[in-house]
Structure 1
């Protein structure tokens, strides 16, 4: 009761509660990965990392629907919003079923491509894909309406259910670890739908959105989908390429490296969730938006610098504490991977800022340098160190171009 009274007296905002919730969710997801890494060892964890990477890829694809829903939940109101959200749900279900079916149909080919022990894990994962798209649209409504309490709950239920169910199955049953992880992911999608706004799910709606509004939505969706595709390339292609080019043991080591090094990106994601609706609202009200950009770039740059510094000073300590001594050989690369991720996280804030303003050139930059990173890794992968160096080169170039664009754009106003 005392804590509740303190919160009320200090008037903790929903935004602050959401930021705290994101930290808890990211902490839970990290705990999930760390426990899997310790329980399974590098070789089995490599298979687990493929599924976890597939989950991240799916989250980026579905994020297109979430961001579109979030933006136009601010812009559209009343009947126009009802018609819009009904159409988004229909399209999300169609895409979800189609993508899930593709994963199931090509599960054997995916097993061969990524050298995994099972194809069944891809089948189970594919079954859950439509649920994830429904969940993302639901979250987009909460994000756009700034219902951060409800948004927090959906992330909490997904994370907690995946953690508890996966670990429970691993300890109670003698089932192949990759299949257990896939089952845990599938069930967590169902829990992630809580709470769900069923009143928005109206497939019988006969209202038609005006052509001008449909064009706005379509254009924003296309560019957002393109940008999320670049996110997939930059944020996940390295793990999948390493799993393809290297032995399972080395791939497992790299997966642990990527997990620790991406702390800064997952923290940046919290600010992105707050950035988009805030920038759209400020633009709608005719207020300046650049101060919000400076604020969040400052936050992420500071956090990234601290993580890179700690990674360079205490790499072996970090690896040993989080994953154990069996992963210690990857320690010298930790600060370098953290640097690459930090550069990307700062670049990402610029891209999402301009995306909120319907300005798409920074998104094009992300696409170009995302492909550059992937190409560099494909041609230069003699060692894990070389793979990390290629990412640093690509991300430095990306951030330089984003800053140059912002400076030139500011001078033209």
Structure 2
């Protein structure tokens, strides 16, 4: 992933450098040097994000916080020093780029984390794509307004807007520190516990409190404070200044977006929905909205506030739909453990259920005996079956905890009440937020009764007719925290 981030960062940086003349012209900049320096910074920023993600995932929040502080200090001290030396805006941008380089070097992983990548466990392309799309949308939403204001408005108005945006985004930076801590905690929380929901509630309330206090502070801040911070050349921002409403409106839009980020981050960590593309689409709506409505600065900010409220409402909807799936299962049932099962046997059973798929057409004749008559004592066969399973279900298998204990069990009819379908692909559309087996069955029956006969429904009906005639015994793979809690079907 680290190597891939360097490739992506380098490509983006080179593209930005190549387009520096056009971008400079669009932004009415005096020189393309500014964009070239930003291109270098972009190449550093992507791998820096990967290293910070490692610190975040390891709960090493102290080093993560220190990394952010060092970046800010290098940026501040470097900018002041280069301004004194007469480098002007070029010096400030150079300081920003240098701060990213220093932060990247400081985020070097500890020795015990530098492990060789296993060839049979490639990083999932789609997992990386989801994260990339999410952060691309985030970057666009956070920065595109300044770019467009620079294009549509005079230098004075663009400078005023940049100052307002700088102050307003403080609420986002404060909120992001809370969100950064929430993501790994939420992802690590057990799916059948309410710990994940508690993490969400706590984080959401903290960000709401930050936003409220910040807005209240902006409303009370006197104009003298802004003159001290921004210089006497800026128009008055505090008190009864007409620009105070700009400041409050922008901070409100940023606060609403911060709340939406809390929900999106939670949903990504819990794999409820894929919100990356939604946010990317909303970033495009921001661009279109500002292009359409830019009569004045108030209108530009109002467009963003309306769209951020729409984003917040949209990303909150799946959480309300999934409330029934979070209900505690009251029926414990009478599941009995029969024998412990090895990981190799689980892989063999998993693969047996998948071997009819098209991905295995080229292997079925030559390797069918490894699947249907497995020799679990052969290390070579076990490796081959693992490699075959990776072709279709590698991503799912890698998400299972490494210390999972596998058992062959016998279920009673009472146990069916605590079984859930796995929230992926077609089941996401069918289940409508509740993945309890009984509820999903009722939803399927309702679709069939209403005359709906899509491809997925047809497959389910064909499967029900095929199972009684099947000559190959088929296992059902369930996963849960313990024998008394909810169980989720991952295969079968």
TM-score normalized by structure 1? 0.71
From the superposition, tell whether residues 318 and 349 of structure 1 become closer, same or farther in structure 2 (CA, over 3 Å): farther
Residue among 162, 177, 180 paired with 1:270: 177
**Maintained 8 Å contact 1:153/1:195:** no
Residue 138 (structure 2) pairs with residue 138 (structure 1): no
**Maintained 8 Å contact 2:134/2:275:** no
The gaps in structure 1 that reach 5 residues or longer are 1-87
Render the CA deviation track for 1:34-91: whole Å, top value 9, x for unaligned.
xxxxxxxxxxxxxxxxxxxxxxxxxxxxxxxxxxxxxxxxxxxxxxxxxxxxxx1210
**Maintained 8 Å contact 2:48/2:107:** no
**Maintained 8 Å contact 1:315/1:331:** no
2:20 matched residue in structure 1: 107
- Measure the CA separation in 2 of the matches of 1:126 and 1:220: 26
**Maintained 8 Å contact 2:273/2:318:** no
**Maintained 8 Å contact 1:139/1:151:** yes
1:341 matched residue in structure 2: 254
**Maintained 8 Å contact 1:282/1:288:** yes
Render the CA deviation track for 1:372-408: whole Å, top value 9, x for unaligned.
2222111000100111111111112222223333211
- In the TM superposition, what are the counterparts of 1:307-326 in structure 2 within 5 Å? 307-314=214-221, 316-326=223-233
C-alpha displacement of 1:238: 0.8
- In the TM superposition, what are the counterparts of 1:152-191 in structure 2 within 5 Å? 152-171=65-84, 173-175=85-87, 177-191=88-102
Render the CA deviation track for 1:306-337: whole Å, top value 9, x for unaligned.
22233234464553342134322533311111
C-alpha displacement of 1:113: 1.2
1:197 matched residue in structure 2: 109
- Indicate the larger mover: 148-157 or 115-124: 148-157
**Maintained 8 Å contact 1:370/1:394:** no
Render the CA deviation track for 1:157-186: whole Å, top value 9, x for unaligned.
222122112211211x223x1211122123
Residue 23 (structure 2) pairs with residue 116 (structure 1): no
Residue 310 (structure 2) pairs with residue 397 (structure 1): yes
Residue among 331, 356, 360 paired with 2:269: 356
**Maintained 8 Å contact 1:96/1:130:** yes
Residue among 250, 254, 264 paired with 2:161: 254
C-alpha displacement of 1:101: 1.1
- Measure the CA separation in 2 of the matches of 1:349 and 1:287: 17
Residue among 194, 200, 203 paired with 1:296: 203
**Maintained 8 Å contact 1:118/1:178:** no
Residue 146 (structure 2) pairs with residue 239 (structure 1): yes
From the superposition, tell whether residues 390 and 287 of structure 1 become closer, same or farther in structure 2 (CA, over 3 Å): closer
Paired residues, what number? 319
TM-score normalized by structure 2? 0.60
SS of residue in 2 equivalent to 1:328: coil
- Measure the CA separation in 2 of the matches of 1:371 and 1:411: 33
Bigger fraction of residues in strand: 2
Render the CA deviation track for 1:170-228: whole Å, top value 9, x for unaligned.
11x223x121112212322232121523758979x573143xx64xx322221222221
Residue among 224, 230, 238 paired with 2:131: 224
SS of residue in 1 equivalent to 2:235: helix
**Maintained 8 Å contact 1:369/1:398:** yes
- Measure the CA separation in 1 of the matches of 2:290 and 2:245: 19
From the superposition, tell whether residues 209 and 268 of structure 1 become closer, same or farther in structure 2 (CA, over 3 Å): farther
- Measure the CA separation in 2 of the matches of 1:129 and 1:253: 26
The gaps in structure 2 that reach 5 residues or longer are 237-242, 327-492
C-alpha displacement of 1:340: 0.8
- Indicate the larger mover: 182-191 or 296-305: 182-191
From the superposition, tell whether residues 251 and 200 of structure 1 become closer, same or farther in structure 2 (CA, over 3 Å): farther
C-alpha displacement of 1:298: 0.5
**Maintained 8 Å contact 2:260/2:315:** yes
SS of residue in 2 equivalent to 1:104: helix
Bigger fraction of residues in helix: 1
- Measure the CA separation in 2 of the matches of 1:368 and 1:124: 28
RMSD: 2.4
- Measure the CA separation in 2 of the matches of 1:320 and 1:98: 41
